[in-house]
Every structure is written in structure tokens, then in C-alpha cells.
Structure 1
Amino acid sequence: MKKFNPGLLFIIFVILCFNVSAKGSEVLLTDDESAWISRHKIINIAGPRAFPPFHYIENNTAKGMASDYALIISQKLGIQMIVDTSSSWPEILEKTKNREIDVITCASKTREREAYMSFTTPYLSYPMVIISRRQSPFIGGIKDIHGKKVACIKKISTCEWLVNDNIEFISYNVNSPLEALEAVSLGYADVYLGNLAATTYIIEKNGLANLKIAAPTEYGNYDLYFAVRSDWPEMVVILNKALASITPEEHGQIRQKWIAVRYEHGIDSGRLKEIAVQAGGALALIFFIVFLWNRQIWKREEKFRCLTEHGTDIIQTFKKDGTIVYQSPSHTAILGYNADELKGTCIFDLFHEHDKKAWEKIFKAILKTNDSQTIEHRIRHKQGHYLYFESNFVNLLKNRALKAIVMNARDITLSWQTKNELKLAKEAAEAANKAKSAFLANMSHELRTPLNAVLGFAGLLKQNAGLTRDQIESIDIISKSGNHLLNLINDVLDMSKIEAGRTSLRETAFDLWLMLDDIEDMLRLRAKEKNLQLIFERTADFPRYIYADEAKLRQVLINLLNNALKFTQEGGVALRAGIWNKNYSNEILSGTNTIELSFEVEDTGSGISEDKLESIFEPFFQTHSGYQSEEGTGLGLSISKKFVQLMGGDINLYTKTDQGSMFKFYIKAGLAGPENIYNKKKSPKIIGLQQGQPKYRILIVDDRWDNRQLLVKLLKPLGFSICEAENGRQAVKLWKKWEPHLIWMDMRMPVMDGYEAVKQIKSNIKGQATAVIALTASAFEDERSVVMSAGCDDFLRKPFRQSDIFLLMQKHIGVKYEYEEQIKEKNKPSPDKNIISSLCFAKLDPELLISLEKAAIEGDMTAMDKLIEQIRLDDEQIAYGLAQLAQNFEYSKILLYIKNENPRVQTQ
């Protein structure tokens, strides 16, 4: 007999292991199953929208473990699975009933769902646990949930389990596991029941650090299945085979990718001791209780008799057919029926007709189980009207002494009416909010659209080389006023932020002196038209560079100054700026400390009567003078006060009738230096397109002629080929015929809006090559995501800057521009720093040179740049030479040339 070869045994073992590990790599289908698959190559699937890590929707894409399993199965079976990413969970269940969805990739099994779905074997299984806050009292199991508030997800069966186990709890309804865990984290709910994997994933991903897994439950594992429409039994068999073919390595990769479980369940030793003490005490008392038991029986009977005869609840007992056996005396006071008047009648006849369907369901449950059942319903009063009751029913038909069903009903008519009124009020408030949102959206569009034309054409006018200095200054004032109006509209339209207290500061370093000068320039013309003095003063120690919210401070000052000019007919208006806290010294001003700045706006107007002072800062409040002026909305002072308070200060009013008013406020700001100021580089002027590029075809789509003309005048002179459309329908026709490189698309238009036009264009293969940039006048940030999801390649809000138009065209179709600076560079004179030494300053305005001298002494780069640009209008060569010296910080040479070449100017 041959010896047994151990090496051969090892080889056979390896081959067997290989076969076992290789098993499952293919799906072995019968001929009928393969034929069925060939007839159903496209499967419509869906899963929960917010159930990470198993299945959730992010950026319109399905993600999670279930999606990964579905992908593996689709590849193994050679089928295409189309995912429904837009439907909510209740809608998915309804669509599965209607055969619109074929397979749900991630579902638990319930009796209700088994009526219209078939389930595979479970492929994911994790234990059910209880989650609470870390500092919550000890919870050892579901019995400790008694009396607590539980976060319950709609259409999910977890809370039904607690009801079936007679756990009394308060339900806090939510829509997703994330909302449930956030409710527990924020204290709106005490606990949440969920599976271990999903809860730990959501807790870690969302940083809910104050939560813990308090205890396991008695409900075992939470199993997840593929659920298939019930008329496709073949699909269930096929899916089971596909799941069985998935290798352990593939299972492991999916679990490793999504699950990082940490289980924190501990024993509260203090609570354990407390329980032990209580148990010992209970054991000691048990003998005493037994001794007193018989003695207490007669007391309980007496107590029950008192409760039924003098209690405020209605108690009735009735047989299975509804015949009333007993009624408590409280019927007389509450429902008007005399003692024993209802005996022998049918209790069902007392219930409201509309409540009978719910009652029939409850009655079946009463007969089926010994558990108590509760329902809110109406019971008829003897006079014919109905009262609302919360009734609790207990089945005691098997009780030898009673043999009846007991109803305990509490009158909740008053609370129901209050709840109904609150519901109606809530619905009315929601309707009002929707109406307000629609109004704000429309107002946003209607106000920003004409502003787009105003600011756009002002920019085009400024590019005209033949403008005088006065014309340039006028256009600058139009632009500054328009931009201020735009900022004002943005803040007023975003009323939801102001009402919710969510308006935030956007602090930057800026030149406070320059801002005040800009405001003075903007308002001086208005003061001049009314023959009023406009005085701007600041103290010697008033800081120039600060950290604060420039836009909000500017708006407050302009609001107050505009009001002062509006209500002043003689005299003038003064703005005085200084330091609120005089303890700050000049040395502190050079540091980075916080400082309190004071502003006073005083006028010689009509003043405000004392009876109006308390209401002056309320929204939409206007004085008699305000109504007479027929200007403004009454929001200016309210918004100003909120902004001042947001900036750490407060505002007060001092006034006397017929003598004038003074608004005085202060804010907190950080100190900055010139090196902290971000100087926005002026966008280079584009004068044309570089040679060697295609003839770019640009389609402009807008229902307003002035908005189309703004883009036409901006783009056509540069060499673009332009075509226009008034609505989306025209745009689609022109796109098919003309095939533009880029489309500027307004989103709100008659006939066909931009959303539908983009959808039709992008549904075509050629449309994918066309860049579509949305132009919208909406002031709301969420508009961007809506526009981008419609298929647009980019988004630009009206009013826009010209530079934004050119940058987006360069980004999306690669346009190359010719800049004015490039042409000037070729024609620049030789960069000789001494170029101005041979030039005469005599023809220049002496006042201009005095200002230049002052700026050079103070090292004020911003002021010097402005003055050099003014000189450029008179003499290009002198301006160029001064710019060369300024760029190299050779201020002493500038001062020397001014003094030597112009005796009229005496350098200090």
C-alpha cells in the first residue's frame, strides 16, 4: 500500500480553497431568467434621499452602500439601472405601487409593503441602538424611553415597534435620520432609534459630538433588502443570485469604504447603585405590602366610586355590539345626558359620521389585542352639537367581573379649537411668507433690471474719449449713486435675513477719509440745488484707515444725510466725525486696537415732535413731513439702527420742533494702516480682439430692448458678431439656424423663459458645445443653484460689471483681447525720470499743483493718482513724468520740481 502524500493533500486543499473563493464571481442564470433579463435591460430604481451611508442623494447623484451594490449587480447582469433622484421617500413608495419604480435598493420589510413589493434576502444587517445626548440620564434599554420625546421619521416603522411594546413616549416627527439626530443634539428630542451603521456615519460626518450610542435594543438587527415590484417575481430570484455571486472581497470593500463604527455604551455606576438600593427597599417592603393588601381593597373600591361619580372625564362601558352597560355621572355635566339615560343604547350612534372610519380601525385593534387604544373624535351632545374628546379604550371583555370594553374620554374641545386656530394661523402665515417671497423675487427683478441699464450705459459713456472733466465727474456721481442704490436694494430685499437676525458683518480694511469724500461729492449737487450748506468735518485725531463693514457704514451715513437734506429747507446739513471715547490717544491710533468712532448728522430742518420719538426707528414709520415729501418707504432709519447695533454701537436722536435734528451714533472698528488696504486694480480697457481668432458669434437673449442694447454696444465695436432674441422660443430657433459660440440668456421672459430654452438647447449634442451664461436680476443667492441645475454653464447677476462680461467670455470660449495699455506701451516716451525737468508747469492750474504738493508731503498715493490723472487731461507728458516719479516714491523730486518750476507755489 502506498504512503499518503502530504504534499498532494496540500495541493488539493489549495485548489478547493481557490474554487471556493472564486465561487460567486459569475451569476448563473437559467435560460428563462436570461431571456427575462434580455427583455428588461433598463430597470428603474430608487432609494431614500437622506439615509447615509446606505443610500442618499448628493449633487443629483445617488451614493452609498446600496448604490455600490446596485452598480455591481448591474454590471454582473448587463442591465442599465436608471436612478430616480428627485422623489421623496413617500413618493418612491407610491411610485412602486403604481409600477413606475421597479426596484428599491434599500428598504426594510413591513407588512404594509409586502402587499405590493417582494423582498430579496437581506444583504445589509446592523443592530438597532438608542442614541441620546452624552449628558442625558442613563438609558439601559427601550423601557427607559417611557415618557421621553422620541425623534420619529415619517413612514418609518421604528416608532411603531415602541407602540406595539406599550412604550409610552412623545413623538417628535422628522423627515430623515440626519434631522432626527440633529433634533436629539439640539434638545428637541431625547432619543432616537436607528441602526448602528447609519447613526455612527451621520454623527461623525456632521460633527454631532454631543451624541452617544446609549444602549442596544431588543429589536435585533435592522435588515435591508432589495424590494421589487410584486409582479416581477423573476427579478427577486435573479437579484438573490446576483447578491450570492458578490465575493467577500467585494463586500469588504464596500463596508470599509462607508462604515467606521464606534460603539459607546457604558454602565452608569451611580444609576446602578441607585437601582440596587431601590430593589433592596422594594424587597423589604414586599412583606408589608402583602400584609396590607386585603385592607386596601375596600379603599380602592371607594376611590374608584368617587372618581367615576365626581371625575371630570366620561367613563362608559359597552359590549362588543356597542350596547352601553354603564355611564358615569359626569355625562350630565359634560354631555347633558341624565343618569342611566344612555344605558341600552348603542355607543356608535353618539360618534360623528366623519370619525366612524377611524373608529372602525381602532375598534378592530381593540378586539384583536388587550392593549389600550387612543383616538381623538367627536361625541354628540344631548342638544345636538358635537364636542371633541380624547378617548382611551381597554378591552376587558374577558374580565369575569366586567365583560365589557371600557372608554375613558376627556373633553379637549377648547384645546382642539385652539390647536385648530393655531393651524389656520400657521397656514395663513405660511401663505403670507410665500406671497412675500414671491413679491421680493419680483421686486428684485423689477428694480435690478433697470439699474443694469443705468449703470451699464454710464460705464459706456465714461469710455467716450471726448468727455470734459465736468461730464466725467457727473458720470462718476451717477455710477456711485447707482451702486449705492443697488446696495440698498440688496439689503432691503433680503428682509428675511434682517427679520431673523442673520444679517452679518463683512469687515475689510478701507480708507475712511476717502469714503467720506465720496459721500460728500455724491450729495453736494443735491445740497446746491436746494441752496443748502453741506459741511463735512472730522477731528484731527480721526483715523483714516479702519477695519469695519464699509458698505453698512456708508449706507447708514447716506440714509441719515439724505433724510437731513430732504427735510431741510433753509440753512444746511453737517456731518461731524470724531472719536467717541476720548481716552484713546494718538499712540493707540498707530496700533491695531479697537476704537469707538462717533458720527453726528445735524440739520436745521423742521425737527421731529416728541410724540414721534419712540416710533422713529420702527419699520415703515414716517413723520408727517415724510408723508408730505412722498419719498422713501420708512425703512431707512430702522435699517440704520440695526446696522449700527450690528457694528457694536447705538444711535440716538436729539431734536426740537422747528429748530432741527441731530442723529448721533457710534460704532466699534479696528485700526488699520495703508499697507492693509486692498487696492483694486482697475480693469484694463479692452479695445478689440486679437488677430487670428474665429469670428465669434454671440446670441443675446433678453425681453428688454435696453438690456440687449447694453450688451450690443459693449460687444459689437470689439468685433463680435451679434444676434438678438426677445424670448426663449426665438433663442432656440436662432441657435439651431445660426449656431452661436456663446449665449447670454436672461432667465425670466414671456412666451418661453430661459430655463426651458436652456433645457431644449442642452438636450441636443450640438448644444453641449454652446456656452450658455445666465443673466438674472434676482438678488437671492439660491437662484444660482437653480440656474446651474437647469443646464447653464455659468451665472452672472444684474447689474454686472463690464469686466465680468469679458472675463466669462474668455473663460468659456477662449476669447483673446487687445488692451489699450498694450497700444500705449508701444507709444510711450523713453522712461527718463528727469523728463519733467525740461517742462513748464506754468499752464497748469495753481490750485491743482497746491493739492499735488499736499498729497506728496502726506505720501497720499490715492490722492496723487487722482491729481495726476487730472493733469493728464492738460498735458500727457507732464502727467507721465509725475507718474514715473510717484511709482518710485520719489516725492521729494516732485516737490522740488513744483517749487523750482512754479514760483507761485511755495513748498511748506
Structure 2
Amino acid sequence: MLYKKKDYQSINYTGRLLKTLLFLAVIFLFNSLYAFDSETKAPLVFTVEETQWLKEHPEIRVASDQDFPPVEWLSDNNQFQGIAIDYLRILEKKLPVKFIPVSKNSWSDILQGMKDQKIDLISAIARNHTREQYLLFTRPYLSFPAVIISSHQYKHLNDLQGKRVGVVTDSYWDDLLKQSDFNIEIVRLENDESGVEMVSLGAIDAMISNLATVSYAVKKMGISNLNIVHVPKHEHRMLELSFGIRKDWPLLQSVLQKAIDSISEEEKDHIYNKWIKLQPITFWQSTQFWYPVIIITLIIFIGVFSILLWNRTLKQKIAERTRALEKAQKQLIYAEKMESVGRLSAGVAHEVKNPLAILQMSIDYLKGEKNDETVSTILNDMQDAVERADSVIKGLLDFSREKELQMQQDNINTVIKNSIHLIEHDIKQNNISLNLKLDKQLPDIPMDKNRLQQVFINLFMNAIQAMLTAAKQQGNINNRVLKLAVYSSVKSVTDSWIIENSEGQFKTGQKVIEIKILDTGTGLDKQHETAVFEPFFTTKAQGEGTGLGLSVSRSIIGLHHGMIAMRNRMDNTEGVEVIILFPFKNNKDKLND
């Protein structure tokens, strides 16, 4: 068949394309086979004796330490794991044998099992002269530097002379210290974690182990108060771990060594990096950081404590000075009172009281005689006059006399109730409606309840008299509704009138105990709001009052660090409201003090 030129060129192009694809496929296959061979390496070559021995021993009993992380340890699911275990898995793939785990409770039991030939292989063990008597060893496949773990900066083994040093029982370090001439008290431990904990708590001075195991334990336990110091190389040998083989199985030694030598460096690095993840200790985790921080904190604490102590002492001194000033102020007030009233009181006591006593005896004598109705009426009037005069004298003497307060913790509501009880007869007799609203949550305060009772009785009686006077003036004493209201509560000061009348004693927002007494009496003239507390001021009819009751009441309230003020009622009702404030300290204030 004849082809056209164009068809021939197409066939030629297709042939070249097929040859190129075939060449690339050969190259890809060659590279794949090369890569596979580089990873698996050439198959192991054993001698006739080694091959025969492997056929006769398909199972090998192997023991691993249950508590030697990260080299080998028993996990929570009762499976061995760690660096040595990963090496065993690789060797099991390379060799026609199966490793049978043998469980032993302690490292000492493992060593004894090897001596009794109940164990064929130890997966990780350090070589020494004692163990060479009953074990064969491969070349080391792991090595770790020795370290000293302590809360101090021990840098050399000589620094441990006379110290209590911990080592794991029957470990490489135990054998090393037993054979040395160091004056060290050896404390044998169950495992490295218990040793790290004992060093952290100060039960032992230091511990000697390897860097990998200690770093793993410290990180797992979250301990940050220890120093891990490398022991200088000239003072020790590295902890070099090998496979330990029964003394009577030298062929297993040679077989294992060939298998270990066939493991690539990449595989070794992978296993090591899988289990060893050491992170450098940052500056803030080191003792060089924490020691100064603790010292500075301690200095600051001592400084703050000293300042608080000094402030407390200063407050005590201020309180003492304040009490002294208050006492001096009281003495000055009483001195001023005595200046104006003392002479009058003394004169009345001597010049008036004695004649009154004579008059009283005379009246009593005459009342014992037989008198007609007129004489009896005169004698009764004389009796009333003498009693009023005696009342005035007692008021003058009470005003001018200084009495020490008998202070004790009590509730102001109790004083108010007792005062109401004493005047209950007057309230019922005059048909007065009493509205008593006392806060049950009122706190106790220091007080002289007898003196405060005197104040409340005086205020209640003044209110009753004012209401009766208003009823008489309006001529409807029987029809007028007489109301007396008494309230107690804890509140914050907000009334500018109260703040002004306290003369700086109370401030806006200050917590106080407030007592309010409201009546429906005649009310007050505006100019009398402050004058009512002056000595001898009274709005009562002549002969009905001394003008000393409210003045004495203000003095008693003042001695309790309180204030009393009086004004017309603010609720568009005729009458007077008396406001009494007492300071108190709540729990928060007491804590601040």
C-alpha cells in the first residue's frame, strides 16, 4: 500500500512520542527501585551458626523497666513504650524472631531474672564490671549525660560531700557511687519521679540521674524550683545504654549487633526526637529570676506592713488626741456653763433650798392640824408652789452638773420603747394616737441608755404638751386628733438642712441612724428653730417650764457624737418634727479601720 508523504510524517511523529514515554517510564521505575533499596537496605547476612541459632530460638524473652521514661515504661493501658521499645519493634521486623515481654515488678527483679536465666534479653541497660559477670552487651545505642538535680547550685560531685543524695535502686548511678570513695549518704529510690519529688520537698539534698529521664519527670510533674546541672565529663561516664544478653547466648549478641548496625541514622533520629523534646528553661523560670523577685516582694511586703502598722499606730494616737480634745471641749463647755449658771445654782441651792425645806416642813405640820376648807386650799397651793420651785432648782443643778456617761452596746429602739412605756399613761389619758415604726435591722451602738431615755421622755412630754396647748387654743380639745409618730431607720444623709445644722459633723452620703419624732402641736416660729436649745429658752407659759430640758437633751446627744435639730413638719401638717442622728460603723468600715 502506498502512503502519502503527509501520512508518513504523522506515523514517524507518533513513533518518536512512544519511544520518549517508554524512556521516562524506565527512568521512573529505576528511581523507585533505588529509593526502596536505600530505605530497606540490603538484607542482613548471617553466618551458618547464627542462622541455625535463629531457627532454634524463634522466641526471645525480653524484660523492660516499667518506670524508666522516656527510655521505656509501662503505659496506663499496660503496654510498654519508649525509645528502647521502638528499637525492639524495628529489630523484630529485621529478624526472624518474636520478642516475648516478661513483666517484672522492679529493676532488681529484672537483674535477678537474668542471673537465673529466666530472661533472655534486657532492652536497655548500662554496662559495668558487676553486670559483665552474667551479661553480654551490644554496643551502646543510646547515651545521656549525667546530671545533678537539686534546689542548690551543685556543679561537681565533690560538692555533694556529706549530703543526702538519691539514686534509683540498683541503677547505674547506684553502682557508681557504691564503688566511689565519696563521703555521700546514699538514699535509694524506687524511681526517678519519687526522687525529683523528694528533692523538690527538701527531703534529700540532691539526686543523680540522666538528663532525659529527669527532664521528662520534671516536665510531667510541673516542678520549677529545681536546678539541673550537667556533671563535668571528666567526673563521670555518660549513661550508655545497650541491649543486655544472657551470658550463654553469644550468637544472639552478634545477631542483635548486626541488626542494630543496619538501622539508618534517619530512623534513629526519628525515634529520639519522638520521645526527647527538651525545651530550654526561660529566664523567668530560673532561680536567677525568682530569687530577686521573692526578695523584692518580701521587701515590699515588709514595707507595706510597716506602713499599715504605722498608720494603725497613728490612728490610735489620733483617737487618743481626739478623746483628749473632746474631754477638754466638754470641760470648756461645762466651764462656760458654770460661769453663767454655777453661781446662780449655788446661790439657789443655799439660799432657796433651805427656806423651801422649812416651808415644806411647815406645810406638812399645818396639814396635820384641823383646818377648814379655805386653809386646806391655801396649803395645797403652797405645796404646789414649793414643788415647782424645787423642780426649778433640780433643773438648774442638773444643767450645771457634769456626769460621766455609762457607755455600753445597746439598741436605740429598746430605749425608745422603754421611754414610750413610761409615758403610756399620759398618751392614753389624753387620747393620743401613737404611730411607732422602728427599723428591726437597726444596729447596736455604744450609749448611756439611761441618759438617752431622759432625752426621749423629755421630747415626748414636750410633744404631748404642745399638742394639748394647740387643742386648748383652738377650743376643741375633745374633738382634735392628737397624733404622735416615732420613726427609726438607717439612711444616708441627703438633707442639706441637716448637714448645715450639724456644723460639719455629718457629710452628704454618710450612713447614720435617724430618729424622727413628729407631733400635731402648735409648731415653731422660724426664728425659734435654733433658739429652743439655748438654756432657759421656753415657749411655755410662765411657771410651766424651766427652759433647760432641750438644752440638757442636746448636751446628752452631743456626748454620744450625735446631733438633734427641730423644725416645722415638711409634710404640710401643722406640728413639729425632731430629728436625731447617731453615727455608726458598718462591717465594711470596721474592716477598713
TM-score, scaled relative to structure 2: 0.40
The higher-RCO structure (CA 8 Å, 6+ apart) is 2
Larger Rg: 2
Question: Of Structure 1 and Structure 2, which has the larger fraction of its residues in helix?
Answer: 2
